[in-house]
Amino acid sequence: MEKIYDIIIIGGGPAGLAAGLYGSRAKLETLIIERDKTGGQIVTTDEVANYPGSIPNATGPSLIARMVEQCEEFGTTRIKDSVEKIEVEGQYKIVKCEKETYKTKTVIIATGAVPRKLGAPGEKELTGKGVSYCATCDADFFEDFEVFAVGGGDTAVEEAMYLTKFARKVTLVHRRDELRAAKSIQEKAFKNEKLEIMYDTVVEEIKGDGILESIVFKNRKTEEVFEIKAPEEDGTMGLFCFIGYLPNTEVFKGLIDMNDSGYIISDSNMKTNVEGIFAAGDCTEKLLRQVITASADGAIASVSAEKYIEANF
């Protein structure tokens, strides 16, 4: 007989794994479909200090490993495949993947988002080794160091100000001659004595042997190319990139309601516009994208799915 899942969760980051744990614990047939490696963005973080109750020296990978164990203890099935489409078939949902097609009563979309990359040489190699996309996660590693923050939007300016609480000096690097951020945010930034702004400038190359050692910049007006090296006494510095995020929601366009930036619109019970389809974590429209908020969303989405099944099947 054709297998019908209770919940199919798309994405195996903290939101998906929390949804898996709650679903399986409620004795629902729960399947997590992961595209790449388990864990999502958090596995690129060396230290997780802001997840309440996490053990000292917890890393992104160790936290995810424990979440996976918990899912397995309760019997969540996990498979690797890439979702291409969700179709609604009567009261069921059909999840079409690259390798297989699955049938389910409910779906939880937990596909996350990825920070937009600069695309500069050296960026990939030095990510997590001086290059970061998350001040909340990594600012304290740069206590008393010099830090550069790229971007001119609300996130970049707010995060650059946050970084001044840790770093000796923060230079905000923006590609144009005026910031995009809201005027109220800009006013605060201009008053911050530890924050300098370098306008009309882009990152050309990021250099370092296992750790960030220097950044090559280009002034877009004068065409001048110049390199800033980490102070010798520090040996390294920080480069934070805040040039927007890209939610992994492309394949759901047309079925699921999203905002202009592609984030899924869900209510406080993680319901989307489609009955029986829920969304959780960084792929949704929200204020704070962290492990704690993703996990909470996943738990809520699972309980919502459970209630939907009770009411409709």
Question: Which positions lie near ligand NAP, rule CB under 6 A?
Answer: 118, 150-156, 158, 175-176, 180, 202, 242-244
Q: Rounded to whole angstroms, how far apart are CA atoms 63 and 53?
A: 11
Nearer to ligand NAP, 47 or 154 (CB): 154
Of residues 8 and 163, the one with the C-beta less far from ligand NAP? 163
DSSP letters of 100-127?
-EEEEEEEEE---EEEPP---TTHHHHB
Instruction: Give me the least distance between CB of 241 and ligand NAP, in Å please.
Output: 8
Query: Which two tokens mark 36?
Result: 């790449």
Nearer to ligand NAP, 33 or 195 (CB): 195
What own/partner pairs with CB < 8 Å and gap ≥ 24 does 220-223 have?
Answer: 220/175, 221/177
Closest C-alpha among 172, 173, 181, 176 to residue 153: 181
In angstroms, the CA 245 to CA 112 distance is: 10
CB of 244 to ligand NAP, least distance (A): 4
Q: Identify any residues that bridge with 147 across adjacent strands, giving them in sequence order.
A: 170, 238
Q: Examine the residue annotation and report whether 144 is marked as an active-site residue of this protein.
A: no
How far apart are CB 201 and ligand NAP at their closest, in Å?
Answer: 9
Q: Are 109 and 272 in contact (CB under 8 A)?
A: yes
Nearest Cα to Cα of residue 255 among 271, 269, 274: 274
Annotated active-site residue in 71, 137, 241, 283: 137
The residue among 20 and 152 lying less far from ligand NAP, judged by its C-beta, is 152
Give the HSE-up count for residue 210: Cα atoms under 13 Å, Cβ half-sphere.
Answer: 1
241 has catalytic annotation: no
Looking at 81, 138, 282, 297, which residue is catalytic? 138
Least CB distance to ligand NAP at residue 153 (A): 2
DSSP letter assigned to residue 286: -
Compute the least distance from the CB of residue 56 to ligand NAP, in Å: 30
Q: What is the Cα 166 distance to its own chain's centre? A: 22
202 three-state secondary structure? strand
β-pair partners for 114: 246
Q: Which residue has the tokens 């397995």?
A: 72
Q: In the complex, what is the shortest distance from the CB of residue 252 to ligand NAP, in angstroms, rounded to a whole number?
A: 20
d(CA 228, CA 239): 12
For ligand NAP, the closer of residues 150 and 239 by Cβ is 150
Nearer to ligand NAP, 129 or 180 (CB): 180
**Of these residues, 97, 134, 241, 283, which one is catalytic?**
134
* Nearest residue relative to ligand NAP (C-beta): 153
Active site members: 134, 137-138
